[in-house]
């Protein structure tokens, strides 16, 4: 029996997407992502997502109760690609240059990927009509990444590698520098995709600049 938008099945967990089927979950998220970029968030229906994913609507609702939860899963997954590059357990022992460089390279390459640019454009276009979408993007994306980076900075402070009095503010500054000269021109379509080598050099410049300010003086 198919479920209506007001009557999703109980398989959805409190945190959003269920663990019912990891493969199906990825299949549904990928389908939703394609349709959101192709048609916009409001114009995409759960029925269309089910057809795109080649699953029943009941299966879609077994993983998310609405489009907002699907969008949250998409953004959270991409954020995890960034902060997953530096495990917190190893952040204390790693040299700050190494930890921050790994994080910076992953971050700058991901935010300039066509998929990430598509998400950003989608949110900017839809947020005035759907503020909830903007909130989801901010909490699952930028805020999650900033908090993870702040935790990495705190780990570096504990071992004396960095001298940071406000890790969250320092994390925001670091990420702001990484957006640098590339992000806005790429999102607006006035610049092409920079070569990977150029992005890596930009990431390293940001790390060096950051460490000049917050590197330990010991």
Q: Do 12 and 117 lie in a common domain?
A: no
Q: Which of 14, 31, 65 is the last residue of a domain?
A: 65
- For residue range 148-165, what is the model confidence (pLDDT) as tens digits? 899 999 989 998 999 999
Instruction: Count Cβ atoms below 10 Å from residue 105 Cβ, excluding itself.
Output: 20
Instruction: Count Cβ atoms below 10 Å from residue 213 Cβ, excluding itself.
Output: 12
Q: Measuring CA to CA, which residue among 103, 101, 120 is closest to residue 112?
A: 120
Question: What single string gives the DSSP state of each residue in 153-177?
Answer: HHHHHHTTSB--S-HHHHHHHHHHH
Q: Which of 35, 50, 65 is the last residue of a domain?
A: 65
- For residue range 75-120, what is the model confidence (pLDDT) as tens digits? 888 777 666 655 555 666 788 999 899 889 888 988 898 888 888 8
Q: Do 165 and 204 lie in a common domain?
A: yes
Q: Which of 20, 44, 65 is the last residue of a domain?
A: 65
Q: CA–CA separation, 161 vs 211, rounded Å?
A: 10
Look at residue 9 in the predicted model and tell me its pLDDT. 34
Look at residue 126 in the predicted model and tell me its pLDDT. 86
Phi first, then psi: what are they for 116, rounded to 5°? Answer: -65, -40
Q: Do 47 and 123 lie in a common domain?
A: no
* Average confidence score pLDDT of the chain: 84
Quote the domain boundaries for residue 61: 1-65
Q: Do 61 and 121 lie in a common domain?
A: no
Q: Do 79 and 22 lie in a common domain?
A: no
pTM of the model as a whole: 0.76
| Domain harbouring 10, CATH code | 1.10.10.60
- For residue range 158-201, what is the model confidence (pLDDT) as tens digits? 989 999 999 999 999 999 999 988 999 999 999 888 999 999 99
Q: Do 117 and 210 lie in a common domain?
A: yes
Q: Measuring CA to CA, which residue among 167, 177, 152 is closest to residue 97?
A: 152
Distances in Å between the Cα of 174 and the Cα atoms of 14, 50, 108, 198 are 33, 40, 11, 18
Query: Helix or strand or coil: residue 203?
Result: helix
Q: Do 59 and 135 lie in a common domain?
A: no
Q: Do 54 and 77 lie in a common domain?
A: no
Q: Are 163 and 174 spatial neighbours (Cβ–Cβ below 8 Å)?
A: no
Q: Do 205 and 134 lie in a common domain?
A: yes
Q: Do 48 and 89 lie in a common domain?
A: no
For tokens 């066509």, the residue is 114
- State the helix-helix crossing angle for 167-179 and 196-214, rounded to 10 degrees: 150
Q: Count how many domains the chain has.
A: 2
Stretch 12-28: mean pLDDT? 64
């Amino acid at each position: 029996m198919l479920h209506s938008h007001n009557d999703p099945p109980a398989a959805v967990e409190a945190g959003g997407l269920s663990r019912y089927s990891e493969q199906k979950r990825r299949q549904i998220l990928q389908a939703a992502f394609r349709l959101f970029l192709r048609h916009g968030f409001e114009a995409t229906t759960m029925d269309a997502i089910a057809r795109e994913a080649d699953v029943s609507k009941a299966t879609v609702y077994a993983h998310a109760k609405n489009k907002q939860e699907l969008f949250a899963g998409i953004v959270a997954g991409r954020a995890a690609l960034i902060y997953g590059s530096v495990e917190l357990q190893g952040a204390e022992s790693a040299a700050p240059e190494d930890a921050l460089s790994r994080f910076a390279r992953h971050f700058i390459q991901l935010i300039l990927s066509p998929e990430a640019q598509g998400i950003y454009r989608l949110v900017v276009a839809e947020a005035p009509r759907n503020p909830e979408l903007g909130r989801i993007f901010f909490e699952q994306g930028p805020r999650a990444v900033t908090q993870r980076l702040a935790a990495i900075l705190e780990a570096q402070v504990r071992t004396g590698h960095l001298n940071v009095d406000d890790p969250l503010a320092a994390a925001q500054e670091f990420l702001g520098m990484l957006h640098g000269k590339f992000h806005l021109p790429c999102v607006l379509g006035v610049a092409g995709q920079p070569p990977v080598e150029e992005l890596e050099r930009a990431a390293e410049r940001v790390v060096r600049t950051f460490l000049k300010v917050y590197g330990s003086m010991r």
